[in-house]
Amino acid sequence: MGRPLDWARDGPGWPHHAASRFVALPGLRWHVQQIAAPPGAPTLLLLHGTGASTHSWRGVMTALAGRLGLVAVDLPGHAFTGAPADPERLSLPGMASALADLLRELRCAPELVVGHSAGAAVGAQLCLDGALQPAALVSVNGALLPLPGLAGSVFSPVARLLARSTLVPRLFSWRASDPVVCRRLLDGTGSRIDEDGAACYRRLLQDPRHVSGALGMMARWDLQTFARALPRLAVPLHLLVAERDLTLPRDHARRLHEHLPRASLLRLPGLGHLAHEEDPAQVAAILENLTKLIVKSS
Q: How many domains does the chain have?
A: 1
pLDDT, tens digit (0-9, with 9 covering 90-100), for 103-153: 999 999 999 999 999 999 999 999 999 999 999 999 999 999 987 643 443
**Residue 59: which domain range?**
11-151+222-297
Q: Is residue 194 part of a domain?
A: no
Domain membership of residue 181 (yes or no) is no
Residue 291 lies in a domain: yes
**Is 236 domain-assigned?**
yes
Q: DSSP characters for 87-150?
A: GGGGSHHHHHHHHHHHHHHHT---SEEEEETHHHHHHHHHHHTTS---SEEEEES---SPPPHH
Q: What is the pLDDT of residues 61-80, one digit of tens each?
A: 999 999 999 999 999 999 99
pLDDT tens-digit readout, 232-279: 999 999 999 999 999 998 899 889 999 999 999 999 999 999 999 999
pLDDT, tens digit, 9 for 90 and up, residues 39-65: 989 999 999 999 999 999 999 999 999
* pLDDT tens column, 172-205: 565 666 778 788 889 999 999 999 999 999 999 9
CATH number at residue 119: 3.40.50.1820
* Rounded Cα–Cα distance for residues 169 and 229 (Å): 32
Answer yes or no: is 274 within a domain.
Answer: yes
The answer to whether position 243 is within a domain reads: yes
Which pTM does this prediction carry?
0.93
Report yes or no on 88 lying in a domain: yes
